[in-house]
Every structure is written in structure tokens, then in C-alpha cells.
Structure 1
Amino acid sequence: MISLYRPGTSPLHRAPAGLKLALLALLGVGFSLMPRQPIVLGLSLAAGGLVLVVAFFALAELAGRPLLRQLWSTRWIVVAMVGTQLIFLTPGDAAVNTVRVVAIVLLAGLLSLTTRSSDVLAALETGLGPLRRLGVDPRRVGLTLSLAITMVPVIAALAQRVREAQRARGVRLGFRAVVPLLVLALRHADDVADALSARGVD
């Protein structure tokens, strides 16, 4: 399994996992509800949100290479979103939506970099505790949400590994990179399943 957590003593590293999850949820909803029109306002708000995310990386003392790697890992998301949205939306709307999604992805990556997975899972289980009365298993739901939150940066790390391996072999990058990425993703899924089974999670 890939561990993206980077030990540190920054305020974000020391902040409770529950607080960071709540902040991620609030900012995610806030970015999603940002108006797109007028386009100048939409772009300004989206750019401001991205600047806020960069400030969080700086607060976590990860504003150097870690931030650049996270930004670089979102390039295919940018290409896919812009390419598909231009079919139905104006360039301005496509740009606003893409920047908002990139900001949310970066926030999820920052959470993974500054918070241990065990702490995220514990915080989710605590927050979902009241749902026990409705017959919901907070442990299973928390585990599912934790895996979902960390999956995007994990896949990005796998893609980076594939890219570096192909460059080392002198292989031209292209759509063929999808095959080894898919293999690594499935292998990672198997490792996660084995780890869960070893801990008695069916």
C-alpha cells in the first residue's frame, strides 16, 4: 500500500483529524457552490479558492515540491475536464469548473499528506457514531469514506510512478500508460483488501 502521509510539526499536522475533515467538507461544498456567472466573478472566486489551498500547503510546510507534485498530478484531470466541458459549456465556465475541482483534489491530497489514515478513520467513526441508532455501522462507512478520500492522491502517485518508469526506459508517454496504471491500481486494491482481511474486515 502507498502511504502519502509526511510526518511534520506544522499546525495542520497537529490539528485534529476531525477538524480537518470538517474543513475539507466545508471548503468542498463552498467551492462547489461558487457562482459561475458573471464569468469574471466566477474566475475570481475560483482563483481565490486555489490561492487559499496554496496557503494551506504553505501552512503545512509543504509549499515546495509536494505542492508541485500534487499540481502536476492533476494535469490529466484538467485535460479531461476541459476537453469534455468545452463540448457543452463556454471556455469561461469550463475554466471555473476545472479550477474548482483541482482545488478540491489538492485539498484531499493535503489531508492525506498531513493526516495518518488511522486518524482519519477514527475521526470518521466518531462523527458517524450517532448513526448507530439507525442501524448503520460507523466503522464500515468511515472506512469507505476514508478510502474514497485518499484514493485520488494514491492514483496520482501511481501515475507518477508509471511516468517515471517509462521515462527511465525511454518509452514515449501516451495512452499505453493506462495499462500499467490499471495494473498498479488493481494491485493496490488487492493489497488494501488483504490488509482489511488481516484486520478482520470483510
Structure 2
Amino acid sequence: MIALYRPGTSPLHRLPAGPKLIALMLLAIAITVFASNAWYIAGASALVVAGYFAAGFGPLEILRQLWTLRWIVAVTLITQVIFLPLPVAATNTGRVVTVVMLATLVTLTTRTSALLDAVERGLGPLRRIGVDPARVGLVMAMTITVVPVIAGYAASIRDAQRARGAKPRLRILVMPLLVMSLKHADELGDALVARGAE
């Protein structure tokens, strides 16, 4: 779900990573706190869609990113409908989707290295209280690189199940995915130890 950088020359592509992260944080807070009904969600969504068009991405890219969020939408909506009225659950789900789409736009228009550098610079003042910005940047870099790897594992498992004629089911996907993910985590940990990063 973490989108990869797409080269471009739009104003959003040229904007430095720091201001984009600050804008993302402020907009995410505003959407979370103030988008209390469907009209506000619609306005925030229109703003995000305008951002995609400003960055040179058309309707197909927007639909593709929305499709990748289908499970988040399903899980968020279903779990909330159990405890909340449907309009409230739908509004909360709309908030989540809007913020995730906004974050995706930032990653689509910003190189990962630039994002990590901006985070390290932003965390610089926290060195006084014991925070290591370089270590935080390393953790973020590993997280960003591991997500596509796990997604690739999931796709491989689904393809293998289809090849055997088995119907894709969540319960028969989770266990092999968990095993492969833990194995990858062990290998990554061994590599970090070998390079003295621990």
C-alpha cells in the first residue's frame, strides 16, 4: 500500500519533502478532527483528487490506488458498523481513506530518500532527549522496503494456491505468509548484525 515514487515535473514533484510532510500532517489532523460529516469528507476528497491531477495522475491512477485500499475499507467499515450507526461508520471510513490517499500522493511525488532525509532533519532537535534520528530513519527505510516484499509473498502464495486449484481463502493464506515474513525478518536481522547496525 505504500506507493513508489513516480518521476515527474509537476509542482508537487518539485516541492521539497519537508514542506510536503508538514502539509500532510496538518491536513491529516484537519481531516481527522474537523471532517465530521459527509460534506466535509467530500470536500477533503475533492482536494485530494485535485492534488492527484495537479501531480499529473489521471483517473485510472486514482482508481488503482483506491482499489488497493479495498480491504482497509472493508475491515474499517465492518468493524465499526458493529458498534456505531452506519452514517458514523461511513464517515470514519471516509476519513481513513482520504488520509491514506493523501499520504499515497506524497509518496508518489517524493523520492523515499528525500522523505527519510526530511524525517531525520525534523527529528534532529530530539537528540537532546536521546532520540537517534539516523536510527529512526533506518527503521522507516526498512519498513518502506519490507512492505512490497510482504505483498510479493502474498501474491506468490495466492498464485501457488490457484495453480493447485485451491480457492483463495484468508485462513490458508495467513500461515504461510506469516512463516515467510518471519523468515525474511530473521534474514534482515542477520544482515544488520553483520553490518554492525544493531
TM-score, normalised to structure 1's length? 0.77
SS state at 1:88 partner: coil
Question: Contact conserved, 1:57 with 1:63, CA < 8 A, in 2?
Answer: yes
Contact 1:17 1:119 in 2 (8 A): yes
Q: Which residue identity does 2:24 align to in structure 1? A: L
Aligned length: 195
Distance 1:134 1:54 in 2: 40
2:121 corresponds to which of 126, 129, 133: 126
Counterpart residue number, 1:9? 9
Residue aligning to 2:19: 19
Counterpart in the other structure of 1:165: 159
The equivalent of 1:30 in structure 2 is 30
What residue in structure 2 maps to residue 48 of structure 1? 43
Structure 1 segments unaligned to the other structure (5+ residues): 37-41
**What is the percent sequence identity of the aligned residues?**
48
Q: Computing the radius of gyration over CA atoms, which structure comes out larger, 1 or 2? A: 2
Residue 81 (1) aligns with residue 76 (2): yes
- Contact preservation (8 Å) 1:105, 1:152: no
The answer for the alignment partner of 1:39 in structure 2 is: none
Change (3 A) 1:109 1:91: same
Identify which range, 59-68 or 71-80, moves more after superposition.
59-68
Aligned CA-pair RMSD: 3.3
Give the alignment's TM-score, normalised by structure 2. 0.79
Q: 2: CA distance between counterparts of 1:60 and 1:48?
A: 19
CA drift at 1:189:
4.8
Deviation digits for residues 134-184 of structure 1, max 9, x if unmatched?
Answer: 222122234445666x48974895488459836974653331344455456
The answer (yes or no) to whether the contact 1:120–1:146 under 8 Å persists in 2 is no
Amino acid at match of 1:32: T
